Structures are given as structure tokens and as C-alpha cells.
Amino acid sequence: MVKAVDAEAPTAVALLEKIVNINSGTMNLAGVLKVKDVIEPQLAALGFKTKWVPMDQLTGRAGDLIAEHACSLGSGKCGKRILLIGHMDTVFEPSSTFQKYEIVPGTGGRVATGPGIGDMKGGLVVMLSSLQAMKAAGVLDTAEITIVLSGDEERHGTPTSIARRDMIDAAKHSDLALEFENASRNGGVDGRDAVRIGRRSAISWKLEVTGKSGHSSAVFGKSLGYGAIYELARILDQFRAELAEPGLTYNVGLVLGGATAERNADDTGGTATGKTNVIPPVALANGDLRTLNDDQTVRIKGKMELIVRDHLPGTSARIEFQDSYPAMGVTPASEALLAKLQDVNATLGYAKEEVTDPVQGGAGDIAFVAPYIPGLVGVGAMGAGAHAEGETAYLDSLPIQAKRMAVLMYRLSQEK
């Protein structure tokens, strides 16, 4: 497998260049299809049964590529059922000025840049390289592998129940997941490789506060009370003072209040009017919440609701949560999988990988499968600057990750 990855390394870089140069911003549905058209035949050539599930009519996004590889030994004799997940879209739409694959000057050809090169076209290449190496070594036949590549990881279609249905269904008949998102190398191109086994949730919340309006001389009084802005300030300050715990962050990103206050359609701003001598009847705030695991999510949402309900006189308030991504908590099963990866590193003569704290980095699709199976997060290309123009991938990380994943998948496929 190691020899096969090394032999194919130049082909892998050429494939990376080819797919990075295809714009596949999430809303460029035709571009996502073009990436699919490159990947699908390669999986078919490896013996995968592939299926394209269009989503344009269902969620307004391109769709999911599903590929299944059956184990040749027959039921009962096969090892762990492996799920590989990833995505074909990027955050860079055709309107972006960042469109082309290039080698970064002055890096000795080691670092390349391009839209989605790390997040996660490099991961698609790592995935294919590892499977091709297994094929070359004659060990792919006995592996049961399902691949689900979405076309909308960066900007989910809705409803989520349909947008993530294929991934969740695949998780229900798999034993573990490997997520080929970008990985980090701590300290840059010459730093230490890192992996993670947890991802925090991404939840947003909206506060709507109301109060009685009237002449400011009567504020704090029995008939008019405190007004909506003092009530909003009370709630936010209690959040600040009372919610903090390890691994949790919560931010307030937008506040509006006064005689009138209204959010815009995108929830990215709004309008407010008010006078210094009028008690404000309305106040609004938008914020987020990131948690380590679903227990923490439930506990913190409960605390927030209690704080919101403890109204100042003459006011009322309610909070609404919107879950974008659940949390992928660290579990004994994911720690066991990590230990197997570290054994693979030892076999290959690589240093032990560092384990990135879930507090760093954002949410991701693997969280949707995490309630069913353990997984490794970020086993794709290493690099820096994901989601920003100038995003990079360290080209030497591609064969390294492909070797790790080939050996790991082989071993898992041999385990009962």
C-alpha cells in the first residue's frame, strides 16, 4: 500500500489541480456536478457501486454521491463496516476572485493554494489514493466501505432531515466513520500532524424582548416597569456571568432595540429607532452557542431559558434556538479508534499525531453521524487558512494521509 501511494503521488497531485480548478461553490450546482463527474468514475473503477442522488428539487442543492463497496467474503465473515464522508462543494462561489490552483512561490513546491484545496478537495484525493492503494495491494476486495459525499457541506440545504438523510442512513449500517475534511499541522508545513475526535456544535439563538412604552420619567415605576432594553441587558449579562463552563462558548453578535426594532431578512442587521425620553418597548439580540456534547447543549439551553424567564417588572422575553450542527462528543469508542490510528502511525514510522481540542475549529457533517458511530475528524489534506482566499494544502501531506488511511482501513476491515 505504501509503494502504491508513492507510485501514484504525481497522479494524485494532478487530480487535485484538476478538481480545484473546477469551481464548485455550494450554490454553483453545475460545478458540484462536474466534480462529481470526475470522482464517480474513479470510484466505479475501484469496484464501487455508485449512485447520484439529486437534491436540487428537494433542498435547492446539487446532491449526494453515494458509493458502496461490498466485502467479497460474504455476510458474517467480514470485518468492520467503514463509512467515508466528505463534500464536493467549497465556500468559493463563481463570484469569488479566488479560482485557480497554484504552487505558492518560495515553498519549494511543497505548498499549493486554490479554492477548497484543503477544505476538502485534498481530502477527496486522499480518499481516492488510499482506496487505490488498497486495490493495488489486493486488500480492497474484503473491505466493506460506504462513501457519502455531499454537495452542500458549506451551506446546507433545508430541511436538514432530507439534506443529511443519505449520510445518516449510511451511518446506521456502518461501524465507524472517517471524515476527510482538512486537517491541521501544528506549526505549519514543518510542524506536527494533528487529528481530532470531537467537534463542537453550532447553534444560533434569537432573543425577542418586549416592554411597556411611555414617558421615560416613569421608568422603573409600577405602571411602566423597566423597558425592553434593560431586560435585554439583564439577560445578556446573566448569560455572561452564569453560563460559563469548560468547552462552552456563546457570543452575542447583534443587538437592536428602541421604540422600534426589526431584523433584516438575513438576520445580519436591521433597523431601530428610539428617543432618549421614551421607554423602549422592543429589544432583539442574535447570538450563537457552541458545545462539546449534546448533554452540555441540553443543560445550557435549559439554563438560558430559566434566565430569560426571570423578567424585570413590566417586561417579557423569549428565546428561540436553531440547531445548525449537533455536537460530536468525545467517547470511549472514538478514543479507541484514535488509538488504532496511532498504532498505524507507529507501523508507518510516523510520529504520534497530536490531538486537536474540539474547542478549536468549527462544526462539521460528521456530527450528524456521531450519534450512531464513532469517527475520526479531519483525515484529509493538511494545510492552512480554510474558508479564506489563499487557503493552502501541504502537498506532502496527501501521500502521508493516504498511507495512514489505507493501512487503517485495511486493519479495520480485518477486525471482527
The DSSP secondary structure of 197-215, one letter per residue, reads S-B--EEEEEEEEEE---B
Q: Are strands 81-87 and 176-179 parallel, antiparallel or unpaired?
A: parallel
Q: Which three cell numbers stand for residue 237?
A: 449579562
Closer CB to Zn ion, 280 or 358, in the complex: 358
Footprint of Zn ion on 110-129 (CB under 5 A) = 119-120
- Alpha-carbon 45 to chain mean position: 29
Locate 327 and state its grid cell. 455536537
DSSP letters, 318-386, are: EEEEEEEE--B---HHHHHHHHHHHHHHHHHTPPPPEE--TTSS---THHHHTTTS-EEE--S-BEE-T
Residue whose CB is less far from Zn ion, 206 or 387? 387
Nearer to Zn ion, 181 or 353 (CB): 181
Number of residues counted as binding Zn ion (CB under 5 A): 3
| C-alpha cell, 400 | 502521508
Nearer to Zn ion, 144 or 181 (CB): 181
Q: Per this entry, what is the length of the chain?
A: 416
Rounded to the nearest whole angstrom, what is the least distance from the CB of residue 182 to Zn ion in the complex? Answer: 7
Please identify the residue of the shown chain whose CB is closest to the bound Zn ion: 119
Backbone angles phi, psi at 141, to 5 degrees: -55, -35
Nearer to Zn ion, 86 or 211 (CB): 86
Q: Which of residues 339-398 bind Zn ion (CB under 5 A)?
A: none
CA distance 274 to 272: 7
- Closest Cα partner for 164 from 26, 64, 28? 64
| Shortest Cβ 287–Zn ion spacing (Å) | 24
181 vs 231 by CB, closer to Zn ion: 181
Judge if the upstream peptide bond of residue 159 is cis by omega within 30 degrees of 0: yes
> Least distance from C-beta 411 to Zn ion, angstroms?
26
Residues 330, 392: Cα–Cα separation, whole Å:
28
CB of 61 to Zn ion, least distance (A): 14
Q: Which is nearer to Zn ion, 177 or 235 (CB)?
A: 177
Cell triple for residue 145? 466501505
Half-sphere exposure of 366 (CA within 13 A, CB side): 30
Minimum distance between the CB of residue 112 and Zn ion, rounded to whole angstroms?
17
Q: Check: CB of residue 98 under 8 Å from CB of residue 389.
A: yes
Q: Indicate the residue among 120 and 406 with the shorter CB distance to Zn ion.
A: 120
Minimum distance of Zn ion from residue 386's CB (angstroms): 7
All cell numbers assigned to 306: 430559566
Q: How far is the CB of 315 from Zn ion (least distance, A)?
A: 42
Task: Tell me, residue by residue from 173 to 212, as one string, x for binding to Zn ion by CB under 5 A and - for no binding.
Answer: --------x-------------------------------
Q: Which x/- pattern over 127-166 shows residues binding Zn ion (rule: CB under 5 A)?
A: ----------------------------------------
Least separation in angstroms between CB 200 and Zn ion: 15
Binding site for Zn ion (CB under 5 A): 119-120, 181
